[in-house]
C-alpha cells in the first residue's frame, strides 16, 4: 500500500536551547543554510539558540526556519518524497521554502522581521495558553462571555477537536482559565510564548508582512501547501503569499488542514526538528497514521521507516 507523505513544520513554542548547535557543519545542507543565514544576519548561526537569544521572538522564529528547512532538505536528499507540506504558524515559512514558493534567502529576512514586529507590538504582558477538553464552539462561547467584562482574549489555534489555544493579555487569560474549571476543562497551560499570535492584535504585523511579500517574486509551488488560516490546500504562489501574511492575525485552523490531508490519503506524517508537539497532535487525531518525529529518530532511521512503510512492512 502506498501512503502519501506530509512534512510537518512545527511552530514557536517547540524551540529549545542548543537546537541549532546540534546540527553538524559536516552536513552539506547545514553548511549551505548556515552560510546563507550568516550572510543575511551578519552574525554566527551558532549564537542564535542561546537562552538569551531565544528570549527574543525574532530569533526563535529564525531558528525554527533554519531547523525546518535543513530537516526537510536532508530528508529529500535521502530520497524521501513528500506529497504535501504543512507548517504550523512560523513553520509555514519553512513549508513555503520546501514547496518552492520562497527561497531560503527570501524567507529569512521576512521571518526575522515578522518576529521583531510581533515582539515590538506587545513587548510584555501578553501571551498564549493551551486548553484541552473543550470544543472550538464551547471555547468561543466562553470567550464571548468573558470579553464582555474583561480585556479581550482570542481563539488563536484550533489544533484538535478538543485542543484550542487562546491569545491575549496574560492576566485576562489567567482569569479566563480559572472560570473554565467548572466547565469541564481537563488541562490549561500558559505557553512559552511572549506575544499574542494569530489574532486581531497582530493586524499591524500582517499588513507590514503583506507589503514586504508583495515586493517579492514568488514561484509556483511544486508541492501543495496546507493553509494556516483556511485549513485548505493551496496550489498557487498568490494563495500562499496571502496565507503567509494574513495568518499571523487569524486563527490557525490546523485541525481542518490535517483532516483534509488525511482524507486525501496521507498516511505518513514526518515532523521536522525541533519536533514533538505536532507528532503528538497527529497521533491523537489519526491513530492509524504513521507518525515520525525527527527529534526522536536519526535521519537514517527516518529513511528506513519511510521506505518500510511504503513497502507495506
Co-location of 180 and 255 in the same domain: no
Out of 21-25, 32-36, 88-92, 212-216, pick the least confident: 21-25
Co-location of 89 and 132 in the same domain: no
Residues 107 and 91 sit within 8 Å (Cβ to Cβ): no
Co-location of 12 and 64 in the same domain: yes
Whether omega for the bond prior to residue 60 falls within 30 degrees of 0, making it cis, is no
What is the tens place of the pLDDT at every residue in 119-160? 999 888 999 999 999 999 999 999 999 999 999 999 999 999
- Residue 305's CATH number: 3.40.366.10
What pLDDT score does 197 carry? Answer: 95
What is the tens place of the pLDDT at every residue in 192-243? 888 999 999 999 999 999 999 999 999 999 999 999 999 999 999 999 999 9
Co-location of 91 and 228 in the same domain: yes
Handedness of CA 253, 258, 187, 182 (dihedral sign): positive
Asked whether residue 144 is assigned to any structural domain, the reply reads: yes
Chain Cα centroid distance, residue 48: 19
At residue 313, the 3 state secondary structure works out as coil
Total domains present in the chain: 2
Co-location of 263 and 288 in the same domain: yes
Q: What is the DSSP string of 26-78?
A: TSHHHHHHHHHHHHHHSS-GGGTTSTTGGGSHHHHHHHHHHHHHHHHHHHHHT
What pLDDT score does 60 carry? Answer: 93
What is the tens place of the pLDDT at every residue in 49-75? 999 999 888 999 999 999 999 999 999
Asked whether residue 195 is assigned to any structural domain, the reply reads: no
What pLDDT score does 1 carry? Answer: 56
Co-location of 31 and 136 in the same domain: no
Report the side by side order of strands in the sheet with 225-226: 233-234, 225-226, 84-87, 4-9, 266-271, 290-293
Q: What's the pLDDT band for 24 if we cut at 50, 70, 90?
A: confident
What pLDDT score does 5 carry? Answer: 97
Q: Are strands 290-293 and 225-226 parallel, antiparallel or unpaired?
A: unpaired
Average pLDDT, the chain: 94
Cell numbers 497582530: residue = 202
Which distant-in-sequence residues (6+ apart) come within 8 Å of 154 by Cβ? Answer: 143, 166, 167, 168, 196, 198, 199, 200, 201, 251
Structural domain span for residue 67: 4-122+200-311
Q: Are strands 153-160 and 126-132 parallel, antiparallel or unpaired?
A: unpaired
Q: What is the pTM of this model?
A: 0.94
Burial of 178 (0-12, 13-18, 19+ CB in 10 A): exposed
Amino acid at each position: 500500500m502506498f501512503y502519501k507523505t506530509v512534512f510537518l513544520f512545527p511552530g514557536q513554542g517547540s524551540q529549545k536551547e542548543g537546537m541549532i548547535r546540534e546540527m553538524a557543519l559536516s552536513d552539506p545542507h547545514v553548511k549551505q543554510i548556515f552560510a546563507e543565514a550568516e550572510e543575511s544576519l551578519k552574525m554566527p548561526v551558532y549564537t542564535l539558540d542561546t537562552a538569551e537569544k531565544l528570549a527574543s521572538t525574532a530569533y526563535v522564529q529564525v531558528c525554527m526556519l533554519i531547523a525546518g528547512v535543513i530537516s526537510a532538505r536532508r530528508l529529500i536528499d535521502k530520497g524521501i518524497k513528500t506529497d504535501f507540506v504543512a507548517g504550523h504558524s512560523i513553520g509555514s515559512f519553512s513549508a513555503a521554502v520546501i514547496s518552492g514558493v520562497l527561497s531560503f534567502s527570501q524567507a529569512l529576512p521576512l521571518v526575522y522581521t515578522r518576529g521583531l514586529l510581533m515582539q515590538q507590538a506587545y513587548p510584555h504582558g501578553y501571551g498564549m495558553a493551551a486548553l484541552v477538553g473543550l470544543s472550538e464552539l464551547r471555547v468561543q462561547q466562553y470567550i464571548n462571555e468573558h470579553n464582555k467584562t474583561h480585556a479581550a482574549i482570542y481563539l488563536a489555534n484550533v489544533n484538535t477537536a478538543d485542543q484550542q489555544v487562546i491569545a491575549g493579555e496574560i492576566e485576562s487569560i489567567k482569569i479566563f482559565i480559572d472560570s473554565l474549571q467548572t466547565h469541564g476543562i481537563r488541562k490549561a497551560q500558559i505557553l512559552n510564548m511572549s506575544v499574542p499570535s494569530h489574532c486581531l492584535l497582530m493586524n499591524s504585523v500582517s499588513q507590514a508582512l503583506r507589503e514586504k511579500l508583495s515586493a517579492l517574486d514568488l514561484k509556483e509551488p511544486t508541492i501543495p501547501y496546507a493553509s494556516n488560516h483556511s485549513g485548505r490546500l493551496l496550489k498557487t504562489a498568490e494563495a500562499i503569499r496571502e496565507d503567509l501574511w494574513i495568518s499571523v492575525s487569524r486563527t490557525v485552523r490546523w485541525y481542518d488542514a490535517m483532516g483534509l490531508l488525511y482524507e486525501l490519503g496521507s498516511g505518513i506524517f514526518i515532523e521536522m526538528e525541533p519536533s514533538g508537539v505536532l507528532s503528538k497532535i497527529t497521533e491523537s487525531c489519526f491513530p492509524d497514521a504513521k507518525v515520525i518525529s525527527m527529534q526522536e529518530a536519526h535521519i537514517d532511521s527516518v529513511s528506513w521507516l519511510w521506505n518500510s512503510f511504503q513497502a507495506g512492512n
